[in-house]
Structure 1
Amino acid sequence: MPAVPQRLSWAVETLAVAPGDRLLEIGCGPGVAVSLVCDLLTTGTITAVDRSATAVERAGARNARHLESGRARILRASLEELRLDGERFDKVFAVNVNLFWTRDPARELAHISSLLAYGGELSLFYEPPSAERASALAADLTRTLSSHGLTPTVVRGGERLVCVRAS
């Protein structure tokens, strides 16, 4: 398998996954973060979603043993279409998912709030092309999340890696 991108290993490390956490990944791509998270879980689970059939197929192939064990579930859906019958998550995260800063994500944030367990946390990870863009992106996301009643904090992972967390 190819090397794990630094942004994904940093994201999973920053999430501080506990063995019993229930996680939701928005935009899982080929499932690299799913695999990293599953390696940290014992009784916990991760549900990963992506709109792309190709991404879901690749994520499923990469995580076959985790799917079989019940630690992972991979679904083809957009965030807007995602219906999980009252299921709640301790941690919801996304890596390089642009919808949170390219337009007003009011509907998506309301939906995520309905999916978070009490005390749960949303973490949005990005790796823009420059340190200046990382700072600007963090400021934009902080303003957006605050305007929707969330309490954001910024975590930096070097010059270009940034996470905006909200609870």
Structure 2
Amino acid sequence: MSSTLRSQPGKPRGFVGQILGQIIAWYDRLDEAWTVEQLQIADAQKVLEIGFGPGQALGLFAAANPLATLTGIDHSETMSRTALRRNRAAVAAGRVRVLCGTVESLPFADRSFDQAFSVNSVYFWPSPVDAFRELLRVLKPSGYLAVTVRDRQRSSYASFGAENLTALLTAAGFSSVEVRHNGVRWHPLICVIAVK
């Protein structure tokens, strides 16, 4: 397999990336729906999604929280275009913003968001601790970050289990960390919620 194809899951590009976006939307649909359920969103809150992929969770969030605003950031231009198309009504209404950028260098002022979340994207962050520090910077005091991953022991997932994510978030400066499990044996998920 070429290095171009191997790198596609981390940063989908071009025609292959568009197809991969459809696969990701199917593959992550349960993960995103469960994560959105974990968020306790108040009216008028500002929320950030990191690594939105094809933008499915953006739409789920907008439907579940009509009085909150959501900004999404993803480093794939292909996924940014896909997410814009998928959420055009919410974007046109000013309830969703879609940006292309990286989690390591967020284009936001300090204390810009009440909450942030990420679903299955932490695997692709070059330096998770640095990314968590950057997220800590843009969260308001007492704001929280929810990070969902698959609860699996395979080598590609093992370094992002509950214990390791808790250690990374603590090292980044979050004050408390809670681990939630979805309790579904055939599709196990972990949502690690860290408070600033």
TM-score band w.r.t. shorter chain: 0.7 to 0.9
Cα distance in 1 for partners of 2:111, 2:89 equals: 23
How far off its partner does 1:149 sit? 3.0
Q: How does 1:13-162 map to 2 (within 5 A)?
A: 13-86=37-110, 88-99=112-123, 105-129=128-152, 137-150=161-174, 151-158=176-183, 159=185, 160-162=188-190
Indicate if the aligned counterparts of 1:22 and 1:45 stay in contact, CA closer than 8 A. yes
Q: Any idea what SS the aligned residue of 1:39 has?
A: helix
Indicate if the aligned counterparts of 1:21 and 1:41 stay in contact, CA closer than 8 A. no
Indicate if the aligned counterparts of 1:28 and 1:34 stay in contact, CA closer than 8 A. yes
How far off its partner does 1:103 sit? 6.6
Whether 2:33 is the aligned partner of 1:9: answer yes
Structure 1 residues 22 and 130: alpha-carbon distance in aligned structure 2, compared to 1, 3 A threshold: same
How many residue pairs match? The answer is: 166
Q: Any idea what SS the aligned residue of 1:114 has?
A: helix
Structure 2 residues not aligned, in runs of 5+? 1-21
State the one-letter code of the partner of 1:165.
Answer: I
Cα distance in 2 for partners of 1:108, 1:94 equals: 12
Cα distance in 1 for partners of 2:72, 2:119 equals: 12
TM-score under structure 2 length normalisation = 0.74
Q: Any idea what SS the aligned residue of 2:53 has?
A: coil
Structure 1 residues 115 and 136: alpha-carbon distance in aligned structure 2, compared to 1, 3 A threshold: closer
Which structure has the bigger radius of gyration? 2
TM-score under structure 1 length normalisation = 0.86
Indicate if the aligned counterparts of 1:18 and 1:40 stay in contact, CA closer than 8 A. no
Structure 1 residues 45 and 139: alpha-carbon distance in aligned structure 2, compared to 1, 3 A threshold: same
Cα distance in 2 for partners of 1:98, 1:135 equals: 11
Q: Any idea what SS the aligned residue of 1:18 has?
A: coil
Render the CA deviation track for 1:105-126: whole Å, top value 9, x for unaligned: 3321221111101210011001
Structure 1 residues 146 and 76: alpha-carbon distance in aligned structure 2, compared to 1, 3 A threshold: same
How far off its partner does 1:104 sit? 5.0
Structure 1 residues 128 and 156: alpha-carbon distance in aligned structure 2, compared to 1, 3 A threshold: closer
Cα distance in 2 for partners of 1:140, 1:69 equals: 39
Indicate if the aligned counterparts of 2:123 and 2:160 stay in contact, CA closer than 8 A. no
State the one-letter code of the partner of 1:71.
Answer: R
State the one-letter code of the partner of 2:40.
Answer: A
How far off its partner does 1:36 sit? 0.7
Structure 1 residues not aligned, in runs of 5+? none
